């Protein structure tokens, strides 16, 4: 796996408002089980999102933020890729960003992240319809992790919060761009699975952490 597998987290910009810190905390909460004293470490950040509290980024906030980012990009949170295990790819699209998380189950049947990615759209891609934006997030994820995904020992489970994509590979009528994407995806053994957005906000948080133009 490429050393840049956690670059999307490494590049996460320092929060400048409550909305930014809420996205970061939401992302962090998914992995708190791997972090000792998580509640103590995250406390300065939690304090920033309380009602009627002035947003003031202190030295304690920066220390907590830096420590959590370090933990997200190293063991024990980030797992090594194992080609003999099932692969789960979660994707999400915002208006400006495609994001994804590649995960695998541990021996204790706990889903652990292997890699993260987040990529801003081009000016042309920003104008895509929501269907194509969500589909592009899957394309970008498969491009990012192509060496790991090709020849997978098990069908790759691709999780999206956009239900219409479940039937993309069996669609009979496709636009030229979609047909090109379908040809690329045909190299892989995968199944798209719909999961409502409220049940999976991890990649959603990665799209929110990038500053919109």
> Where do you find CATH 3.30.70.270 in the chain?
3-72
Band (3; pLDDT cuts 50, 70, 90): low
Question: What is the third-level CATH fold of 3-72?
Answer: Alpha-Beta Plaits (3.30.70)
C-alpha torsion 46→51→57→62, nearest 10:
0
What confidence score (pLDDT) does residue 198 get? 62
Q: Which of 27-36, 37-46, 129-138 has the highest mean pLDDT?
A: 129-138
pLDDT of 60 > 90? The answer is yes
Architecture of domain 88-208: 2-Layer Sandwich (3.30)
What confidence score (pLDDT) does residue 136 get? 97
Counting beta carbons within 10 angstroms of the beta carbon of residue 160, is it exposed (0 to 12), middle (13 to 18) or buried (19 or more)?
A: buried
What confidence score (pLDDT) does residue 7 get? 84
What confidence score (pLDDT) does residue 209 get? 57
What confidence score (pLDDT) does residue 208 get? 63
Band (213; pLDDT cuts 50, 70, 90): very low
What confidence score (pLDDT) does residue 171 get? 86
Which range is least confidently modeled, 66-70, 113-117, 208-212?
Answer: 208-212
> Where do you find CATH 3.30.420.10 in the chain?
88-208
- The C-alpha angle with vertex 37 and arms to 3 and 103, in degrees rounded to 5, equals 35
More confident residue, 164 or 204: 164
More confident residue, 197 or 2: 197
What confidence score (pLDDT) does residue 202 get? 66
């Amino acid at each position: 796996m490429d050393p840049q597998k956690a670059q999307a987290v490494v590049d996460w910009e320092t929060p400048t408002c409550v909305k930014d810190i809420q996205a970061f905390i939401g992302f962090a909460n998914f992995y708190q089980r791997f972090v000792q004293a998580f509640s103590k470490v995250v406390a300065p950040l939690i304090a920033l999102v309380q009602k009627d509290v002035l947003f003031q980024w202190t030295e304690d906030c920066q220390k907590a933020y830096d420590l959590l980012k370090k933990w997200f990009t190293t063991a024990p949170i980030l797992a090594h890729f194992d080609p003999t295990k099932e692969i789960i790819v979660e994707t999400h699209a915002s208006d400006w960003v495609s994001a994804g998380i590649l995960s695998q189950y541990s021996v204790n049947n706990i889903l652990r992240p292997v890699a993260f990615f987040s990529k801003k759209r081009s000016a042309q891609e920003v104008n895509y319809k929501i269907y194509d934006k969500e589909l592009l997030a899957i394309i970008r994820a498969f491009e990012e992790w192509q060496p790991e995904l090709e020849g997978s020992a098990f069908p790759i489970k691709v999780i999206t919060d956009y239900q219409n994509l479940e039937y993309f590979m069996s669609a009979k009528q496709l636009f030229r761009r979609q047909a090109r994407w379908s040809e690329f995806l045909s190299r892989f053994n995968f199944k798209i699975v719909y999961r409502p957005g409220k049940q999976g906000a991890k990649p959603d948080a990665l799209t929110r952490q990038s500053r919109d133009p």
